[in-house]
């Protein structure tokens, strides 16, 4: 048995692990009895094998279960490919989410713009109506001058008979109610207009005496024909105090 | 190598035959370690291995002094054969069966661990070396030397070709020895 054969056939290790035939074992024993080098190699290999077994038994060498992944097997390019694939998939997902998000945002923006436009239109419409109303209110300065505005002087009465009647001329835009309160010490008044069946249809606030000691209230004459109960309240105290009640009948010419 | 060793053996034999005790001591130093190792691996008993060593060297020296050695070149073989005979005799005397000489490990390697690793320095050094190995090398060592799996299965578990198992083993052993030497043992 020579060294080339020993090395080629891994004789030393097989001797240690008792994997040689009896004849081969004896032949190698005869060899290393005479060979210092091989004897040292036997001792070193035995130390190694026993040490490894001891380490495994002591859990210094963990057991492997199952087949390893490509990256673990020493094929790092497989791990790299998997990482690339994963990165690509994540990128696609991310782009998808961003795209959906942008699409939704775009839709929301459009809705918002439409809402804004509708609101602006409504505001403009409201403004126009307010202007129209303002124009339609009796304001000698702002409105168109009107001639022959009918004026009704209300007189308090407890008479339940026929109510005083005022005839609105054709084309009349307003009707002025004149209420004498010179004898009343109150400063602020309120006028409430009811239908004859006691349904409130109009309240006029913050009425003040004019220089004649009277209250002048202008009502739009349109659709005013009918029979009314008008109540006058003093507003100086917390609670409105009924001061007078009037009846009125309006007709159109 | 063997030629050189034979010359040294030849000189020692000649000197022993001339009665030089120093030569006997030199011969004892050269071969007693081998005899002890051989006996210990076979008998798994330190006491018996000591007895085998002592008895074997005694017989060898007696044979040399009595010029009963047929060939100086055959001295190692003669020593080994003598050791074998001494072991058998001792085993018979201890009333053990010859199955002790079978090549089986019945104690899970405990004998080897207690023998080889009873030096704590060696044990620590080996553990340090193993920790420095790569995970793949560690896995291989466990499967090959502890689990004693066949190369085919090791290759399958590591996901490599069977031909590469031997190469991996060679590298693992090389690295082990390299690290072991660096650690000063």
> For residue A189, is pLDDT > 90?
yes
Distance from CA of B76 to the nearest CA of A (A): 5
The reply to whether B102 touches chain A by the CB within 8 Å rule is no
Give the model confidence (pLDDT) of B79-112 as tens digits: 999 999 999 888 887 765 555 444 444 454 566 6
Chain B, window 24-83: residues with a beta carbon less than 8 angstroms from a chain A beta carbon: 31, 33-34, 37-38, 75-77, 79-80
Which range of A57-61, A168-172, B17-21 scores highest in mean pLDDT? It is: B17-21
Q: Return the number of other C-beta atoms located less than 10 Å from residue A131's C-beta.
A: 11
Provide mean pLDDT across the span A4-26. Answer: 89
What whole-number distance in Å separates Cα of residue B32 and Cα of residue A20? 24
Q: How many CB atoms lie within 10 A of CB A245?
A: 15
User: Across chain B, what does the average pLDDT equal?
Assistant: 81
Instruction: Give the lowest-confidence range in A208-222, B91-105, B124-138.
Output: B91-105
pLDDT 10s digits, B35-66? 998 888 888 888 889 999 999 999 999 999 99
The whole-number average pLDDT for the span A100-116 is: 83
Task: Report pLDDT digits (tens) over A125-162.
Answer: 666 666 655 555 545 444 567 777 888 898 876 666 67
- Specify whether the CB–CB gap between B104 and A22 falls below 8 A: no
* pLDDT value at A72 more than 70: no
CA-atom Rg of chain B in angstroms: 21
Contact check, Cβ <8 Å, B117/A72:
no
Task: Mention every residue, 6+ apart, whose C-beta is less than 8 A from residue B63.
Answer: B69, B78, B82
Contact B130 A51 (CB under 8 A): yes
Encoded tokens for A71: 């990256």
Least confident of A69-83, A110-124, A226-240: A69-83
**CA proximity to B183, closest of B130, B137, B136:** B130
B105: chain A residues, CB-CB within 8 Å: 18
ipTM of model over 0.90: no
Chain B (107-146) residues lying within 8 Å, Cβ to Cβ, of chain A: 109, 112-113, 116-117, 122-123, 126-127, 129-131, 136, 138-139, 141-143, 145-146
Strand arrangement, sheet containing A214-220:
A151-154, A174-180, A214-220
The model's pTM is 0.50
Work out the minimum CA distance from B86 to partner chain A, whole angstroms. Answer: 16
Residues of B in Cβ contact (< 8 Å) with A57: 146
Counting residues of chain B whose pLDDT is more than 90, the rounded percentage is 21
pLDDT at position A177 is 92
């Amino acid at each position: 048995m020579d060294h080339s054969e020993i090395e080629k056939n891994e004789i030393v290790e097989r001797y240690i692990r008792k994997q040689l035939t009896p004849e081969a074992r004896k032949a190698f024993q005869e060899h290393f009895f005479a060979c210092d080098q091989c004897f040292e190699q036997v001792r070193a290999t035995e130390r190694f094998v026993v040490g490894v077994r001891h380490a495994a038994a002591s859990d210094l060498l963990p057991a492997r279960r199952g087949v390893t992944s490509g990256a673990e097997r020493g094929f790092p390019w497989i791990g790299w490919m998997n990482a690339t694939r994963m990165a690509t998939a994540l990128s696609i997902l991310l782009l998808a989410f961003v795209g959906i998000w942008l699409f939704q945002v775009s839709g929301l923006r459009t809705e918002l713009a439409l809402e804004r436009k509708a609101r602006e239109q409504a505001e403009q419409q409201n403004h126009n109506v307010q202007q129209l109303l303002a124009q339609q209110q009796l304001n000698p300065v702002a409105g168109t001058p009107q001639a022959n505005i009918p004026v009704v002087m209300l007189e308090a009465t407890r008479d339940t008979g026929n109510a005083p009647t005022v005839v609105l001329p054709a084309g009349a835009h307003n009707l002025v109610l004149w209420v004498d309160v010179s004898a009343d010490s109150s400063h602020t008044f309120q006028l409430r207009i009811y239908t004859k069946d006691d349904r409130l249809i109009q309240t006029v606030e913050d009425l003040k005496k004019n220089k004649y000691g009277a209250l002048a209230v202008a009502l739009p004459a349109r659709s005013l024909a009918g029979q009314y109960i008008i109540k006058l309240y003093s507003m100086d105290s917390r609670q409105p105090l009924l001061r007078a009640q009037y009846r009125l009948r309006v007709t159109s010419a | 190598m063997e030629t050189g060793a034979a010359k040294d053996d030849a000189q020692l034999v000649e000197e022993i035959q001339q009665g030089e005790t120093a030569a006997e001591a030199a011969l004892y130093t050269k071969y007693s370690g081998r005899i002890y190792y051989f006996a210990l691996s076979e008998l798994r008993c330190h006491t018996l291995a000591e007895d085998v060593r002592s008895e074997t060297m005694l017989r060898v020296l007696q044979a040399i002094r009595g010029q009963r050695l047929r060939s100086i070149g055959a001295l190692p073989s003669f020593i080994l054969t003598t050791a074998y005979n001494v072991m058998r005799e001792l085993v018979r005397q201890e009333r053990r069966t010859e199955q002790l000489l079978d090549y089986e490990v019945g104690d899970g390697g405990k004998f080897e661990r207690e023998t080889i690793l009873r030096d704590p320095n060696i044990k620590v050094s080996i553990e340090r070396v193993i920790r420095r190995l790569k995970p793949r090398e560690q896995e291989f060592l466990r499967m090959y030397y502890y689990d004693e799996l066949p190369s085919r299965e090791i290759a399958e578990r590591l996901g490599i070709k069977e031909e590469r198992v031997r190469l991996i083993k060679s590298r693992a052993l090389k690295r082990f020895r390299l690290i072991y030497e660096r650690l000063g043992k």
